[in-house]
Amino acid sequence: MKHSTTRSLYEYWDNLRGHRPAPDRSEVEPGQIRSLLGDTFILEVIDPVTYRFRLAGTRLCSLHCRELKSRNILRGWRGEDDQALATLLAAVSDDAGAAVLGISGHTERDQTIDMEMLLLPLHVPGEGCSRVLGSCVALQQPYWAGLHPILSQSIKSVRLLWPDEKPAFLSSGITSSVP
């Protein structure tokens, strides 16, 4: 994890979960991660191809020059990266994995910005891990950030993490939250 926001959010999530595969959504206390909120988001798992933003921080929305709430995070990826991201999100929501991605955001002027994204499962009683807590932070701030919207993204690197050394379904019998 390259960025301090990514490391801080992961540490907060890991402390909340304790020995469980994922903390409950109700345990996330925004006041405890106040300085990270501008770069954080929560996704709702709708189905295997729809992961809708329920919340998105102001810095993240500013990079895209638009409100992200209610949008599907799988929209706007280059090539087959939307399928790769869907597979990662399934590992996060179904198997309580965590993922760190290196991504590039692209504007209509072919400007790029390197970012780091973190995806972490959140448990909802009766639904399984149907929420994803995440962050997406720019690794540098070019002069045009917030002036020219990010219209597409591409994946540069992926790291899937198993906080307990193996997928949750192998250790605790957690079942999928997606039909």
Q: What is the pLDDT of residue 179?
A: 43
SS3 at position 123: strand
The sheet that has 128-138: what strands, in order across it?
50-56, 40-47, 128-138, 112-124, 98-106, 152-161
User: Tokens at residue 97, please?
Assistant: 């994995």
3-state SS, one letter per residue, for 5-61: HHHHHHHHHHHHHCCCCCCEHHHCCHHHHHHHHHHEEEEEEEECCEEEEEEECHHHH
Looking at the DSSP bridge assignments, the partners of residue 52 are 44, 72
User: Tokens at residue 68, please?
Assistant: 């992200």
Each residue of 11-55: pLDDT tens digit?
Answer: 999 999 998 899 999 999 999 999 999 999 999 999 999 999 999
Each residue of 106-128: pLDDT tens digit?
Answer: 999 989 999 999 999 999 988 88
Residue 176 in this model has a pLDDT that exceeds 70: no
Band the pLDDT of 9: cuts 50, 70, 90: very high
Q: What is the pLDDT of residue 167?
A: 56
Name the average pLDDT for the chain. Answer: 89
- The Cα 85–Cα 158 span in angstroms is 9
Residue 178 in this model has a pLDDT that exceeds 70: no
* Percentage, residues of the chain above pLDDT 70: 91
| Contact call for residues 150 and 113 (beta carbons, < 8 A) | yes
